[in-house]
Structure 1
Amino acid sequence: MTNEKHPWLYDLLFVLILLMAGYLRIAGYNWGEGYHQHPDELFLTGVLDNLRAHACEDPNLPVDACPPEQRRWLTPAEYFDSATSTLNPYNRGYGFFVYGDLPMTAMRVLMEAIGNDAIESSKYFVRQMSALADLFAIFFLYLIVSRLYGRKVGVFAAAFSSLAVMQIQQSHFFTSDLFVNLFLFLALVFATGILEWQKKKKNQDAETSEEDQLASPPTSALQIFAHPLFWLSIAFGLALGMAMASKINAAAMAIVLPLAFFVRWLVYDRNKKLDSTYWSQILIFLVAGGIATIISFRIFQPYAFDGLLLNKQWIEGISEQRTQATGKADLPWNLQWARRTHLYSFENLTLWGLGLPLGLLAWVGFLFMGWRIFKGEYRHLMLWGWTAFYFGWQSLQFNPTMRYQLPIYPLLAMMAAWFIFEFPKNRKQIDDKTQTTINRPRAIIAAIIGSSVLVLTAVWAFAFQSIYLRDETRMAASRWMIQNIPGAVNLSIETDSGLYNQPLAIQPGFPITSDSPYLLQFVPQKNGTLTEVTFGFAHNETGTPAPVNLTLVSVSQPDLVLARATTLLDTSPTAEARGVPLTFTLDNIVPLSKDQSYSLKIETLGAPLYIEGSSISNETDYDWGLPFRVDGYDPFGGIYSNDDLVLQVYWSDDSNKINRFVDILSKADYIVIPTNHQYAQITRLPERYPLTTLYYRDLIGCPEGQEIIECYRLAQPGMYEGKLGFELAEVFESYPTLGPLVINDERAEEAFTFYDHPKVLIFKKTDAFDANQLRAILSTVDLTKAVPLTPTEFNDFKTLMLPETKLASQRAGGTWTDLFNYDWLQNKYPYVGMLIWYLFVFLLGVSAYPIARLALPGLKQYAYPLGRIVGLVLLAWLAWMGGSVGVPYTRVSIGVALGLIVVTGVGLWMRRKSEFKDDWTNHRKFFVIAEIVFLSFFIIDLLIRIGNPDLWHPAKGGERPMDFSYFNAVLKSTSFPPYDPWFAGGYINYYYYGFVLAGTPVKLLGIVPSIAYNFILPTWFALVATGAFVIGFGAVESYKAKIEEQFSKFNLQLVTGLAASMLTVLLGNLGTIQLLFSGFQRAAAPDGVIPDGTGFFQHWSWALQGIWKILIDGATLPIGRGDWYWFPSRVIPPGPGNEITEFPLFTFIYSDLHAHMLVMPLLLFIIAWALAFVLARANLTRGEWIASLGIGALFIGALKPTNTWDLYTYYLLAAITV
């Protein structure tokens, strides 16, 4: 830690920050009015209420029936006895418990110690303890940062962590997460002590520093045990064990202890002469830390053990929990994680968990610190490495919720603070010492950034904290429903603040008659005047009109009638079975007092009367049903219909679900969506839930083309028009608010709003509801297409169908004439088109040559012939990536990509101008030869194409129609993947990148594809030939001196290069010899047939006779014109493997534009790249390293979408090369 003036001022400032943090965490701790809307909190408080930290003096009494005076604390033996301990959740009715024991035990002991073990108050108490745990974590963060970087940074780190919204939110729940953080940061305090233990502190009896003592041999075990690092390691282990006893995955921090010693060695001891004793001591310290961890875990997580062994029940629970967390378990809450990218945690942590200003600054600090480590400042490595490891680990999980990143939130806050003070510093090495100065402009920038981020983060924190200072949305919605949705019997009370509706519960199904009237006793909730009484729905058994009478009396004066009312129940034949609403106007105005009890008598004449309230439909048993019990009302205890009107939206989409939806919605008066839990999960998987997805879209009336989730996020009454006969009546929102600033955080991950401020939507049935129409709408779904996959299986599931938006953009991508017009010069005169094509490929190669030379330093100027394929791959890749992320694949975007290549090439040429001038001056002949080679092979195949220009073989057919259709689909597409020409509405499920590679120049130049097809083939033929030429030429380069001594009369490099080209593309295989041998035999064999089982000598006899007949007698060789190229490609006899022995010459003659042809130039380039890498002998500049690895990765990566099966072979080649 640096020396600082007036350190107490920083400590005082930290105390003020801690007070602010305490307010943000504790204010509003009673949010939700005790309903525990957080499912983990609900479960944990239930467990906590059932645990007991005491036993009974009377062994015959159960602990729950033990009188207070006979209670005693559990003994250590009772505490550790997993089979009987009353602190073990397994013994208290919870057979599945995978949370840590330490927070539960500590809270229960503390509650009983202070006499606060009643569930009504304890559930708020444990929330406060959770907040206190986070405050201690911030305190430990301040200690760590102050020691490493000084109190200034420590104060800012504490401030940022205090304002981190995710920490504020979790402080309002009782879960294990913040208790884990408490012990993890305590462990980091000790790890920092190990790293920063004072190395120059002098002993009183010697001049040897304590650092040197670590490197010197110990004289006894006592010296080891007395060493500060030994006890710091023990302390680290104890804290880590406590963290693991809070949540088992905290075990990952075990890597920090060896990391601390490793960083200590890097920083202080790396340049010293160290013997084995040094490492032996470190090993002892590590072992001590490990033993302390095990002991601590055994003490604080006792119920994970059964004696000396692990508890089988605990292991099974952890295994089941892991199955749930990996998405293999088909559970509703796992649906939200299907198809999430590994950046999902980063996105939510940055935008919401920290807030965008602090999130961006934190990651800038993270990267800047990583750069400093790379430059040799290893002191940062411990905290940076732990942060990087933990963040990566959690981001790669199936459920990458930002809450699971809590252990690194304070460290990211630290990195943000560190960057503010580190960014202005300049460092210079002077006489082996580092001198630090402050760059004033950067200091000003850092001050502006730091203060701005602090203010903006504070705004976000206080805005978010406001949600806990007002009614939670489900509570507010419940109160609204009580006031606005008619119950069975409703009192309209006129109060000073307006009309108040007080519903009264009635026994469901009770028959009311004149002989058996119904008496409702109630206490008014408000002082006011009773103006009206209404029934939600009333009917009698016969349906005949009958009077219904009400009599209101005071319970204290039952003989004094306060008011009467009568109305006629007259249900029409078309009325619902549950009857009609009834309204009663009292004959007397009755003032009601909330301090008195009243009785309302209901009676009728004639058939029995039945009364019931409105019907409310909820979504699922996996979420809260509304309304809650609020203000003394029990909504489903007689106020509203208690029929089973739960839609069960998570059930499988089938015909039974249609029937259920129609039946429930026909009965329901209101539909309640209490959270985003259902619609935000189900509509993300329309393949599994096509019916329910349609239900959610049409319920709100979300327009086609708009995301359903977005419609619900934005929905307000009147914004959309539903199609199912329900309208959005009311929404309840509680967004983070500060003054006029309101932040809609619905786009955050579901859990961020789901627990404490979800958006609640209430739909009301309208007169437009028609059950038959509802059934007709739902029946439009093809339920046979529902795919019952688990959440994790959806990560790899493909429908092969383009989304509607992409399909529409593909169809609107321009007409064929817009793209390829036969009246254009290059199409009207194909030879002009060929010249334009050739010149374009040439100029592209010249532009890309500087890139190729930089990426292939071992080949130097010999990389020139590879410029064409480098240019083509870069052009196609840039256009392809653009088309894959939303940039339309058009001439404009391709032109931009071409411009980037040209600019890059020119830029490299200007930076290395002298080098390229030397290439031209000294190796001009090679450039000319390379062009001649390319042109020669281009002409060879062009002549073949001129002789056979058709895209269909009249006898053998071929697969060019398939290739041509894919090629045209790629050219016509405006985004990727391209549409499937053989499957309407689908996309190409094939490795199609080769068509992008060949088609991008075609689309740019506007050459008609049927013409361009015959330009591509000679170009690819020449690219393969020149690739082989470069490999042969370059391979000889390393032996040039020896070669020139032995072969001075001719250029063996040139000969080798040409030989490589011809062997690759002009020669076939030995199948031709086999074909001739068979032909000679058939010329002499009887009837031209060679029977099976023919002997060796007979084969040769017929062959010799056949040669004689052909050469002397003029017989015809019995080999068809097509056999010369076909049979050598089928050397292996036909079998179940359908083996094919194609070779390049056959491939180009047959000319199917298959993937294995399109990939050939890439394969030759990768071999040349590997050769260049070896020839360079790792003697590369930084730019050459970057370019070489980048181009190599690009080409090897391109193999997968071009011809997948080549990837593995050439990836192995690249790995061996590097």
Structure 2
Amino acid sequence: AGRTPFLWPLQNLVLWGLGPALGFSALAATACATVMLFRRRELAVLLPLAMVVAIVGFQGPRFVAYMRYFAPAYPFLCLSAAWGLRALPGLAADFSEPVNRALDRVHLPVRISSRSLARTGTALAVAAVLSTLWWSLSFQAIFTAEHPRLAASRWIDENLPPGTPITSEIWDDSLPYPIPGFESSIYPIVATFPFDTDSPAKVQTLVYGRVEGDPTAGLNGADYVVIASDRARAAVRRLEREYPATIRYYELLDSGELGFELVAHFESRPTLFGIEIDDSGSEESFTVYDHPEVRIYRKTAAWDPERALALLLQAHPERAINLLPRQGKTNGLSFTAEGAAVQQAGGTFSDLFDRDGFASHLPWVWWLLWIQILAAAVLPWTTWLFRALPDRGYGASKLIGFAGSGLLTWLLVAWGASHFTNWLIWGVAFAILGAGITTAVLRRDGLVADARSQWLHWVAAEAVFLTAFFVVLMMRYQLPDLWHNYQGGEKPVELAFLTAIARSTEMPPYDPWFAGGTMNYYYLGWFFAVVPMRALRLWPEVGFNLALPTYAGLAAATVYSAGAGLAALSRRPHVSRSSAVSAGLVAAFLLLAIGNLDAAHQAIERFQSLNLATVAADGQPVYHWSLFSDTPFLGGAVGLLSGAYRWVFQHGALPPFDWWRPSRVHYPAFDITEFPYFSFLFGDLHAHLMGLPFFGFTVVLGITYIASVPGSRARSWALAATMGVAAGLVRTVHTWDFPTAVLLIGAALAAGQTLRRGPWQQRWWDFVGHAALAGAVTLLVFAPYTQHNEVFETGLVRARETTRANQYFAHFGLFVAITLTFVVVRYREELNAHRASSRNIAFALVAGPWEVFALATFVAGLTAFTWRWGLTTVALSLLALLFLANLLWVEYRRPQRDTGRILATALFAVGVGIAGGVDVVQVKYDIARMNTVFKFSLQAWQVYAIASAYGLWYVAQPRRLMPSASNPGRLGALRWVPAFVTVTTLGILLAGSMLYPWSGTRARMEARFPGSPSGTLDGLAYLPYGF
């Protein structure tokens, strides 16, 4: 129950099946054989290696993975171990030179000869052989001694009079055995049922038996309790939630409190030369068959059935639930008795938070100082790791410092090294600060050089972070309320989670909505906010309102690094060195400072409403300006002009702006179409909001990795490990982003090695190594989270609804226009460069005016044909992906590749794929497509924002939108028309996207309880006015 696939069977195989010395030798030799096979093409190791991999790979993830099922692999493991031990002296001798170089680097006047290392290797090999021999011989002691169950049976025959009732556990052997000269049937057997799920009825049966009033049933009717092995008593401890009273029963037996005392104990251990091996930690089948531990308990005068029943009921068997074995690792999402006691003793609310503490006055100042100091502390590392970015990772350092301190704190708590205390938080913070200062001193010349050369990027990234932080902070000061009666969102849930995490002593935290339960949610985003909140002893309702601007600033700074990085990778001689700054600023702007186009739609509707004069008796509207009122579009245009006239010259009052409607542009479907500005304006501290900077961080890492692979092997390995951490962070902050993040990381690793020069074998194995490292880091570092997290339903199904093209454009309209502009410019560039020799089909489709007209006709027909079935968005997305994929292919085949352009094109494709993919598949058991559209559209928005920032930067370069005067092409003097139309269209769409921050913010600030105070960060200050 709750065993880890592969690791648990391998642990048993190494420690018990082969013995530690032989087991570790076999593992080391197998690892070396793997390296030799792929690095040196040593085919001699192929057969044993293939057998081991096949057997372990097949049996390792099985539900039943006992050692005996791995027996076919043992000969090959022994063969590998023998080969490895034989080669160990020579291998050790080869390390003489590297060892001496390492000693020289640390200035130790010591030299180690190859002969000494060879002798050391020989000694280790001999020690491994001798210890394996001792290990195997020690197990012979089991079979030279009497079997414990036979010894127990003999003891029963010699000490218990005939007719003495004794217990026997179902699913275990019943004692005594029938041995020569002994009649086992003379002892009445009282059956117990330890593997039945606990309940008050089971406890009643255990004490009194199944038949009420039977004096010979249950413990009350037994004189002796016989435990024939640890099969039941060891197994039930792995499912404490299902067997609380059964576990309590065994504990009371051992302590004597139940009214039974231990009178006989039989065991047989592996022993040689007086040294005994305790193999009780091995798998069940290794001990319970040939050398089980048998215990016999005798009833004493202290036995009282009512008292025994009361003691067992104290374990609350009524709370027991039937669990699947795989749920053992989470204990049914419940605390163990020990864990619950630790959480309850973690301190009172006032012990952890102080309303009048030093940080309670201007709390945002202290909070911001915490973030800035930690960001500065990690800057000496990020400037090395993100060397390929123009800002040297300055933007990402905000997230790394903030989340890094939280992650280290969480790891120490989750792995059981410490409780979650303020001392731990401050200790980790000072450790990071100390390490940062030390690194800064060691790298002071490089840091100074980076600051001088990249100061503009550092100032821009800092400005982006602070702007986003303070804008959202002002929103929270203006509207700090953490609930509203019909537009309050999920803030009570989030505040409860935030408080529960802050008050938890161990991880996972307790669940405030499930008494006695652990939090089964992706909670690390709140945990990271709790760390400064606990350190500063701020109340949760204040920390909540400070976490919102924090994640806004982190998202902005992170995406700045991505946008500037793309532009810097695509730098041209005629482009200024500082132009990448503009791409980074635009990326942050497009992510956080705009809304979708529904606000523009509302603006048109609001002005048109002023044209309505009255409604006639027959229900028909009467307009002030009725020209073309029955003509689509023209009537609307006239109504818009009329409304604008009446608003300007007659001071007409516009109807209220619906700030909520843009988050539901797929109405009447249940789909949620939030965008980042709405999320921060709405103020729900939910996982999708907190996940924004972490998802963006994976993009930053991918860009950095691809740019760094050609230059530094050490840096590329460090980035691969960091990618593993980033994937784990995404999983634990907002799991919905995890699949896409994994795909982005995998694609970045593959692209980095594909675009890199060098032998394909070297690039292939670097990809495999980096991918394995990233995966291992994700699995191992975040194992405490995955081991306590349970997913009940998962999978994908065909999408039950689709998005109309007009709905798609209402949400992603600006990004669609930028994508189209970028694609058109790129195709025109390629056609100009390769018109004569190109045989590319996609280029042929747009080679001239008639071809473009034919393509436009096809697109119009495709739209009309697919509209009936709601597949227009899917069809047009697939078409866009084909054109983008063609650009990627052309770029890949180019001798001198533009890395930034490749990555931007790929990101455009990712955005199109995610946004259109929700029309193809959806998450199983979703409410229609509500959360599928919600979560993945936010991912698409972020990817679109980064790619679009590059796209705007790219097309804004000289001679990109408009042909030069010396080469006007077919347009002649009208060459400026396409550029004018493009810029005008983009400008109109940008203005429409910016209407929401203008109109929506003001409307949102008015959606609160009358009289609720502003100018505070106390999220509960509304309570006296709201109820």
- Which TM-score band (shorter chain)? 0.5 to 0.7
Task: Check conservation: 2:509, 2:519, Cα contact below 8 A.
Answer: yes
Specify whether residues 483 and 893 from structure 1 end up closer, same or farther in structure 2 by C-alpha distance, changes over 3 A only.
Answer: same
1:706-739, CA deviations, whole angstroms, 9 ceiling, x for partnerless residues? xxxxxxxxxxxxxx2141x332221111122335
Specify whether residues 790 and 900 from structure 1 end up closer, same or farther in structure 2 by C-alpha distance, changes over 3 A only.
Answer: same
Verify: 1:673 aligned to 2:210, yes or no.
Answer: no
TM-score (norm 1): 0.54
Residue 1180 of structure 1 deviates from its aligned partner by 4.0
Report the equivalent of 1:166. Answer: none
Report the equivalent of 1:819. Answer: 352
Report the equivalent of 1:981. Answer: 512
User: After superposition, where does 1:682-1081 map in structure 2 within 5 Å?
Assistant: 682-690=236-244, 692-698=246-252, 700-701=253-254, 720-723=255-258, 725-775=259-309, 785-791=319-325, 794=327, 799-827=332-360, 829-830=361-362, 833-887=363-417, 888-898=419-429, 901-902=432-433, 905=436, 915-953=446-484, 956-1044=487-575, 1052-1081=579-608
SS in 2 for 1:682: helix
Query: Where in structure 1 are there 5+ consecutive unaligned residues?
Result: 1-336, 430-436, 488-612, 702-719
Larger Rg over CA atoms: 1
1:648-673, CA deviations, whole angstroms, 9 ceiling, x for partnerless residues? 44456567755653232333222221
Specify whether residues 364 and 396 from structure 1 end up closer, same or farther in structure 2 by C-alpha distance, changes over 3 A only.
Answer: same
Verify: 1:403 aligned to 2:68, yes or no.
Answer: yes
Residue 1132 of structure 1 deviates from its aligned partner by 2.6
**Equivalent position to 1:425, from 93, 96, 100:** 93
1:181-200, CA deviations, whole angstroms, 9 ceiling, x for partnerless residues? xxxxxxxxxxxxxxxxxxxx
Report the equivalent of 1:629. Answer: 178
Q: Distance in 1 between matches of 2:40 and 2:349?
A: 59
Query: Where in structure 2 are there 5+ consecutive unaligned residues?
Result: 98-111, 210-216, 622-628, 750-1027
Q: Distance in 1 between matches of 2:615 and 2:717?
A: 63
Specify whether residues 838 and 1105 from structure 1 end up closer, same or farther in structure 2 by C-alpha distance, changes over 3 A only.
Answer: same
User: After superposition, where does 1:53-452 map in structure 2 within 5 Å?
Assistant: 337-367=1-31, 376=40, 378=42, 381-382=45-46, 383-384=48-49, 386-406=51-71, 407-408=73-74, 409-411=77-79, 413-414=81-82, 417-418=85-86, 420-426=88-94, 439-452=114-127
Q: Distance in 2 between matches of 1:942 and 1:790?
A: 47
SS in 2 for 1:761: strand
SS in 1 for 2:734: helix
Verify: 1:645 aligned to 2:172, yes or no.
Answer: no
Task: Check conservation: 2:96, 2:114, Cα contact below 8 A.
Answer: no
SS in 2 for 1:684: helix
1:10-60, CA deviations, whole angstroms, 9 ceiling, x for partnerless residues? xxxxxxxxxxxxxxxxxxxxxxxxxxxxxxxxxxxxxxxxxxxxxxxxxxx
Q: Distance in 2 between matches of 1:961 and 1:990?
A: 16
Q: Distance in 1 between matches of 2:198 and 2:370?
A: 56
Specify whether residues 338 and 932 from structure 1 end up closer, same or farther in structure 2 by C-alpha distance, changes over 3 A only.
Answer: closer
SS in 2 for 1:344: helix
Q: Distance in 1 between matches of 2:386 and 2:190?
A: 70
Q: Distance in 1 between matches of 2:427 and 2:371?
A: 17
Residue 474 of structure 1 deviates from its aligned partner by 0.9
Q: Distance in 2 between matches of 1:346 and 1:896?
A: 37
Specify whether residues 670 and 1140 from structure 1 end up closer, same or farther in structure 2 by C-alpha distance, changes over 3 A only.
Answer: same
1:531-587, CA deviations, whole angstroms, 9 ceiling, x for partnerless residues? xxxxxxxxxxxxxxxxxxxxxxxxxxxxxxxxxxxxxxxxxxxxxxxxxxxxxxxxx
SS in 2 for 1:762: strand
Report the equivalent of 2:814. Answer: none
Q: Distance in 1 between matches of 2:166 and 2:126?
A: 51
User: After superposition, where does 1:484-563 map in structure 2 within 5 Å?
Assistant: 484-487=159-162
Specify whether residues 874 and 1076 from structure 1 end up closer, same or farther in structure 2 by C-alpha distance, changes over 3 A only.
Answer: same
**Equivalent position to 2:684, from 1125, 1146, 1152:** 1152
Q: Distance in 1 between matches of 2:274 and 2:175?
A: 30
1:1175-1206, CA deviations, whole angstroms, 9 ceiling, x for partnerless residues? 44x41422112122122222222222211212
Report the equivalent of 1:1206. Answer: 737
Specify whether residues 375 and 1099 from structure 1 end up closer, same or farther in structure 2 by C-alpha distance, changes over 3 A only.
Answer: closer
Q: Output the aligned Cα RMSD.
A: 3.5
Greater relative contact order (Cα 8 A, min sep 6): structure 1 or 2? Answer: 2
Residue 420 of structure 1 deviates from its aligned partner by 4.3
1:448-469, CA deviations, whole angstroms, 9 ceiling, x for partnerless residues? 4445444444443333211211
Task: Check conservation: 1:369, 1:380, Cα contact below 8 A.
Answer: no
**Equivalent position to 2:165, from 615, 629, 636:** 615
SS in 1 for 2:296: strand
Residue 480 of structure 1 deviates from its aligned partner by 0.8
Q: Distance in 2 between matches of 1:1130 and 1:614?
A: 75
Report the residue type matching 1:872 in the other structure: F
Specify whether residues 979 and 998 from structure 1 end up closer, same or farther in structure 2 by C-alpha distance, changes over 3 A only.
Answer: same
Report the equivalent of 2:649. Answer: 1112
Task: Check conservation: 2:89, 2:120, Cα contact below 8 A.
Answer: no
Structure (1/2) with the larger helix percentage: 2
Report the residue type matching 1:1072 in the other structure: A
Residue 1087 of structure 1 deviates from its aligned partner by 6.9
> Alignment length, in residue pairs?
712
Residue 628 of structure 1 deviates from its aligned partner by 1.4
Q: Distance in 1 between matches of 2:34 and 2:425?
A: 36
Q: Distance in 2 between matches of 1:790 and 1:952?
A: 39
Residue 482 of structure 1 deviates from its aligned partner by 0.6
Q: Distance in 2 between matches of 1:349 and 1:1092?
A: 84
Task: Check conservation: 1:970, 1:995, Cα contact below 8 A.
Answer: yes
Report the residue type matching 2:689 in the other structure: M
TM-score (norm 2): 0.63
Q: Distance in 2 between matches of 1:1005 and 1:783?
A: 42
Task: Check conservation: 1:424, 1:440, Cα contact below 8 A.
Answer: no
Report the residue type matching 1:721 in the other structure: G
Report the residue type matching 1:421 in the other structure: P
Residue 760 of structure 1 deviates from its aligned partner by 0.7
Specify whether residues 824 and 426 from structure 1 end up closer, same or farther in structure 2 by C-alpha distance, changes over 3 A only.
Answer: same
Task: Check conservation: 2:389, 2:564, Cα contact below 8 A.
Answer: no
Residue 626 of structure 1 deviates from its aligned partner by 1.2
Task: Check conservation: 2:29, 2:81, Cα contact below 8 A.
Answer: no
Structure (1/2) with the larger strand percentage: 1
Task: Check conservation: 1:1043, 1:1052, Cα contact below 8 A.
Answer: no
Report the residue type matching 1:398 in the other structure: F
Report the equivalent of 1:1164. Answer: 696
SS in 2 for 1:728: strand
Percent of aligned positions with the same letter in both sequences? 30
Residue 747 of structure 1 deviates from its aligned partner by 2.0
SS in 2 for 1:991: coil
Residue 1173 of structure 1 deviates from its aligned partner by 3.3
Residue 427 of structure 1 deviates from its aligned partner by 6.7
SS in 2 for 1:645: strand
Task: Check conservation: 1:855, 1:1191, Cα contact below 8 A.
Answer: no
Verify: 1:478 aligned to 2:153, yes or no.
Answer: yes
SS in 2 for 1:958: coil
Task: Check conservation: 1:1174, 1:1217, Cα contact below 8 A.
Answer: yes
Q: Distance in 1 between matches of 2:646 and 2:24?
A: 86
Q: Distance in 2 between matches of 1:679 and 1:341?
A: 23
